[in-house]
Amino acid sequence: MTSSSPRPGDLFAAAPLHATVTQSAAATPHALYGELFVAVQMGRVFGDGKSFVDARPRSAPALIRARFDAEHRLPGFSLADFVHAHFVLPGHDAVSGPQLGIREHIRALWPLLVREHTQAQQGDSLLPLPHPYVVPGGRFRELYYWDSYFTMLGLVADGRRDLAEDMLANFAHLIARHGFVPNASRSYMLSRSQPPFFFKMVELLHADDPATGFAVHLASLRAEHAFWMAGEATLAPGQAHRRVVRLADGALLNRYWDDRCTPREESWREDVETAEASGRPHEQVWRDLRAGAESGWDFSGRWCADPADIATIETTALAPVDLNALLAGLEAAIALGAARAGDTATAQAFNARATTRRQLLQTRFWRADVGPGHYADLNWRDAADPRPLTAAALVPLYLGLATPAQADAMAAQVRRHLLGANGLLTTALATGQQWDAPNGWAPLQWMAAQGLARHGHGELGRDIAARWCASVHRVYLATGRLLEKYDVAEDRPGGGGEYETQDGFGWTNGVFVAFKDGLLKA
């Protein structure tokens, strides 16, 4: 380690969280178990670091920690035996089964993926929520933020609006409780969020009158926006604070961030090893890894100075095109909700914000130097940095923020670089990371297909949807499973990343159903 980096066992004394998080955060597993936590994660007691952080203690955490302190140096001590004796380990949901038709299988899956956890339990990292919710599946046993919007698409289409409304209520509760929506409903994820889809959830459940929905949820929408913009008022040109960056000319943009600069608790060993290999200050690497997790794209060569080397990750140096497009959508939603609520001043202020951000998307995020042009992330420290084309470039189209010429150029780029035999490639980079080629992901298929159709390229949008749905169906017939990600070059599960491909799977189910009932409806 560098001389400025703390030893792994000292990391729970690292930089404090932002005050908003500190006031509401439950104790994380690292804070509860200290040296025991580090020993388990670094000692590879479990192949998946998420297993331990999701475990429930059989007795008070302080008592378990005291017993570990007293026993772990004794002859014959077994760390694995100690953990199994003192913790209830999480199950791993397997939801494959007898061969039903794929739509019938998805309908049968919804109740299997429902969870309810209304009361906090001592030492349990799972956060209580007032209503039932749908989890993604597999190792993902809790409510996830951006996953849930795409899951909700299918719930609504399949007549489970009740569950979708429960999930929206849970997200409103999280905003009221914590000031933002955490990455997932776990204590160890209370230092970061995920792509801000709350306004799209509101829109989905108020499809006949979105403005009224935005007015009903105006306080939550404004609170989430304030979270993303915290620090903007005092930010000087060329500086950044948390999730806000101010360019040299004063323009405001956003980036992904995390309020902690320690290894992710669910991937502790991996993050320690990445930092060791980086030759960089470890806290910087850990912050960038955590920020990559906030993006939902964990991980991709998109975030790295050298796409082939995760140790060069520099997420916080980038203003992502998809995040800034989503925030333009959030600002427009607040303006509509405020106008419907009769708050003219707020409506005007947020209309101005949305207009300014849309203009920045059409200028700062548009690479005209790569014919015929495409959207890309912006290195806010170095605007000349040529960031690559990724599927995130379709998000401005999805939100109606592109000009006709930009939409035409993006359609050409998709056909040339991102269209695979089985749908849309995440990137054209083959790095071994799961958010790169050859993988394709349900949310990206949905946003690309909808965005292209919205801008006059319906045939291409339907082609993407049809290719992806056909591959999902073929893999289902071969395996009996619906998966979190797919290989869009061949009919097989997607690979790469830090863990095995999971089945369930919330957003795949939701997007498949929504495509079949929408773009691909006979």
Q: Which active-site residues does the annotation give?
A: 298, 484
Say which DSSP state 298 is in: -
Sequence-distant (6+) residues with CB within 8 A of 95 are 109, 112, 113, 137, 481, 482, 503, 504
Q: Which of 146, 231, 148, 124 is nearest to 193 (CA)?
A: 146
Round to whole Å and give the CA distance between 194 and 179. Answer: 14
Residue pair 330/224 in contact by the 8 Å Cβ criterion: yes
Round to whole Å and give the CA distance between 82 and 386. Answer: 51
φ/ψ (deg, to 5) at 388: -80, 160
Residue pair 461/401 in contact by the 8 Å Cβ criterion: no
Round to whole Å and give the CA distance between 55 and 392. Answer: 34
Residue pair 81/71 in contact by the 8 Å Cβ criterion: no
Q: Which of 475, 502, 507, 501 is nearest to 99 (CA)?
A: 475
Round to whole Å and give the CA distance between 454 and 461. Answer: 9
> Which segments of 345-464 are extended strands (E)?
366-367, 374-375, 378-379, 419-420, 423-424, 439-441
Vertex 30: Cα angle to 29 and 33 (nearest 5)? 80
Round to whole Å and give the CA distance between 268 and 4. Answer: 19
Round to whole Å and give the CA distance between 465 and 468. Answer: 5
φ/ψ (deg, to 5) at 419: -85, 115
Sequence-distant (6+) residues with CB within 8 A of 76 are none
Pairing of strands 485-487, 492-493: antiparallel
- Other beta carbons within 10 angstroms of residue 369's beta carbon come to 8
Residue pair 339/347 in contact by the 8 Å Cβ criterion: yes
- Other beta carbons within 10 angstroms of residue 66's beta carbon come to 11
Tokens for 178?
A: 């914590």
Residue pair 364/373 in contact by the 8 Å Cβ criterion: no
Residue 434, phi-psi category: left (phi > 0), alpha (psi -120 to 50), beta (remainder): alpha
Q: What residue type is 265 in one-letter code?
A: E
Q: Which of 495, 509, 418, 397 is nearest to 463 (CA)?
A: 418
Q: What residue type is 188 in one-letter code?
A: Y
**Strand (E) or helix (H) holding 378:** strand 378-379
Round to whole Å and give the CA distance between 324 and 392. Answer: 11
Helix (H, G, I), strand (E, B) or coil at 55: coil
